[in-house]
């Protein structure tokens, strides 16, 4: 008979666990560097629940405890209860509407007393991941069919829509990263291509003069018609398609984007998008201006100010950095939200380009490791789940880093394992530990 201890450690992917722990520790150190005040008792700070770094280490310990519990659970438990969790998650999300409290402009947080707050939309990422994996891995699901693809998409989109209703656009976008999982499982590549082209078209619309862009699109259409003239001779429908695509593109650029910006998105969101591409947004009316003022935190022009200060912090790090606790930008709180969404500033300023590259490569290794793990699973459920973890982490990391460097609009998305925040740390930990548990049984077929 084997002891329990042996059972836990057997078959666990050591590298993944190691990277996870390293990232969590980096996070605690970074939070320490940003929030430590000179003269504070460090030991006391870590042991008490008063300081942010103390809290974060407590949450880390709690995550490890939860991890052990997960590792001790039977892997079939997750497949069996996946739909249950998802349902519970949706119910929680619905409960948010009557019970939410308004914090920092979102209506997605339920507060229990002063100390503890719950953001169900964050927790729901795990549940959605499980449910999606469960649905795709069903024997009766044939993912090549459009119907199953639509059902899978709706599993993903439903919580995202609820999130948008709760004014939490940032986390809603996270759910769209699950399309990467579906792509792996056979969603036609054309969906991704179309999505990508649409994004490029939207950005181009914002950046360029509408007439010039229309001319460019027409030029592309004419060129492709010229190069495909032989096919067109054979099948007249090709020409029709080219004209149709051209018409759609132009109408998106001419009508859809202005419509979305004027009527669908909130003025402050439009402003953030404009800030990112480096253009000035001039609100149409007083109401729009008021909305921008209401949603930009403090007196300063939040989006712009945050990004500017964060770029200064990262940029001033130089090649080798200023050293821990020596960065003036982060020490003297020039970057707002720097312990949560802008934690990367601390790393960039303290450790410079070299440190940042090491830090980023830890993430890259982690992601590639997860993909490798995913591909070695026998069961579709585990593979889908692993890809889900990879996609969610990838989306978080990429958007967060781009955000701090001014490459993406400021949407409140934390840096996994590093940003301050109990719930986000616990959520990501649970995801990783479920993956580790599933990976332990990679030879089994779970359904």
Residues that bind another protein (CB under 8 A): 144, 180, 183-186, 189, 309, 311-319, 328-329, 332-334, 348-349, 352-353, 356-357, 360, 363-364, 367-368, 371, 374-375, 380, 383, 387, 390, 394, 398, 401-402, 405, 407
Please answer whether residues 429 and 62 qualify as being in contact, where contact means their C-beta atoms are separated by less than 8 angstroms.
no
Between residues 67 and 348, which has the closer beta carbon with respect to another protein?
348
In contact, 392 and 179? CB cutoff 8 Å: no
Locus of tokens 């795709």 = 136
Alpha-carbon distance of 370 to 364, in angstroms, equals 10
- Taking the least distance from each CB to another protein, the nearer of 24 and 335 is 335
Residue placing its CB nearer to another protein in the complex, 200 or 247? 200
C-alpha pair distances (Å), 96 with each of 91, 321, 373: 9, 43, 35
Sheet of strand 116-118, all strands in order from the earlier edge strand to the far edge: 100-103, 106-112, 116-118
**DSSP three-state, residue 110:** strand
Nearest-CA neighbor of 385 among 120, 93, 135, 87?
135
The answer to whether 133 and 64 have CB atoms below 8 angstroms apart is: no
Measured from the CB atom, the residue of 92 and 374 that comes closer to another protein is: 374
Nearer to another protein, 38 or 280 (CB): 38
Percentage helix, strand, coil, to 5, in the chain? 70, 5, 25
Neighbours of 267 (CB within 10 A): 22
Whether 385 and 435 have beta carbons less than 8 Å apart is answered as yes
CB of 340 to another protein, least distance (A): 16
Backbone angles phi, psi at 106, to 5 degrees: -100, 160
Q: Least distance from C-beta 83 to another protein, angstroms?
A: 22
Closest to another protein by CB, 57 vs 338, is: 338
Q: How far is the CB of 316 from another protein (least distance, A)?
A: 3
CB of 191 to another protein, least distance (A): 13
Q: Using the minimum distance from each CB to another protein, give the nearer residue, 168 or 349.
A: 349
Tokens 């291509």 locate to: 193
Minimum CB separation of residue 33 from another protein in Å reads 15
Q: Rank residues 166 and 296 by Cβ distance to another protein and give the closer one.
A: 296
What is each CA distance from 103 to 117, 146, 176, 281, in whole angstroms? 10, 40, 24, 26
Minimum Å gap between C-beta 143 and another protein is: 9
Contact 403, 410 (CB under 8 A): yes
Q: From its phi and psi, is residue 174 left (phi > 0), alpha (psi between -120 and 50) or beta? A: alpha
Residue 211, number of CB atoms within 10 A of its CB: 9
Cβ proximity to another protein, 173 vs 312, nearer residue:
312
Q: How far is the CB of 8 from another protein (least distance, A)?
A: 29
Tell the smallest beta-carbon distance from residue 403 to another protein (Å).
Answer: 11
Run of H or E residues at 103: strand 100-103
Measured distance CA(434)–CA(316) in Å, rounded: 39
167 token code pair = 């004014």
- Cβ proximity to another protein, 198 vs 353, nearer residue: 353
Q: Which CB, 107 or 301, lies closer to another protein?
A: 301
Q: Exposed (0-12), middle (13-18) or buried (19+): which is 71, by Cβ within 10 Å?
A: middle
Backbone φ, ψ for residue 341 (5° rounding): -70, -30
Q: How far is the CB of 233 from another protein (least distance, A)?
A: 33
Q: How far is the CB of 371 from another protein (least distance, A)?
A: 6
In the bound complex, what is the minimum distance in angstroms from residue 36's beta carbon to another protein? Answer: 14
């Amino acid at each position: 008979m084997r002891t329990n201890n042996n059972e836990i450690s057997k078959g666990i992917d050591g590298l993944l666990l190691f990277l996870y722990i390293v990232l969590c520790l980096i996070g605690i150190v970074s939070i320490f560097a940003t929030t430590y005040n000179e003269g504070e008792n460090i030991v006391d700070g870590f042991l008490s629940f008063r300081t942010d770094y103390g809290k974060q280490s407590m949450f880390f310990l709690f995550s490890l405890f939860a991890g052990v519990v997960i590792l001790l659970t039977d892997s079939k438990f997750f497949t069996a209860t996946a739909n249950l969790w998802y349902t519970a998650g949706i119910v929680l999300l619905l409960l948010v509407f009557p019970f939410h409290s308004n914090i920092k402009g979102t209506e997605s947080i339920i507060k229990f007393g002063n100390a503890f707050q719950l953001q169900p939309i964050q927790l729901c990422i795990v549940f959605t991941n499980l449910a999606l994996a469960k649905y795709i891995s069903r024997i009766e699901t044939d993912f090549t069919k459009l119907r199953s693809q639509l059902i899978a998409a709706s599993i993903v989109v439903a919580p995202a829509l609820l999130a948008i209703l709760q004014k939490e656009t940032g986390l809603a976008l996270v759910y769209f990263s699950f399309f990467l999982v579906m792509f792996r499982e056979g969603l036609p590549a054309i969906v991704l291509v179309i999505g990508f082209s649409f994004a490029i078209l939207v950005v181009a619309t914002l950046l360029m003069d509408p007439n010039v862009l229309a001319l460019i699109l027409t030029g592309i259409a004419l060129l492709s018609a010229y190069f495909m003239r032989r096919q067109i001779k054979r099948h007249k429908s090709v020409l029709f398609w080219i004209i149709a695509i051209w018409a759609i593109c132009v109408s998106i650029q001419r009508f859809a984007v202005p419509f979305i910006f004027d009527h669908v998105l909130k003025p402050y969101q439009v402003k953030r998008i404009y800030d990112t591409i480096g253009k000035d947004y001039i609100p149409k009316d007083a109401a729009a201006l008021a909305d921008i003022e209401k949603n930009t935190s403090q007196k300063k022009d939040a989006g712009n100010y945050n990004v500017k200060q964060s770029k200064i912090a990262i940029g001033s790090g130089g090649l080798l950095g200023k050293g821990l606790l020596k960065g003036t930008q982060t020490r003297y709180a020039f970057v707002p939200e720097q312990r949560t969404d802008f934690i990367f500033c601390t790393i960039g300023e303290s450790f410079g380009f070299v440190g940042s590259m090491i830090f980023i490569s830890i993430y890259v290794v982690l992601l590639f490791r997860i993909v490798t793990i995913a591909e070695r699973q026998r069961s579709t459920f585990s593979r889908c789940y692993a890809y889900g973890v990879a996609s969610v982490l990838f989306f978080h990391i990429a958007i967060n880093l781009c955000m701090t460097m001014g490459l993406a609009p400021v949407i409140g998305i934390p840096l996994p394992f590093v940003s301050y925040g109990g719930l986000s740390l616990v959520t990501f930990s649970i995801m990783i530990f479920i993956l580790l548990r599933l990976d332990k049984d990679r030879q089994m077929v779970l359904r």
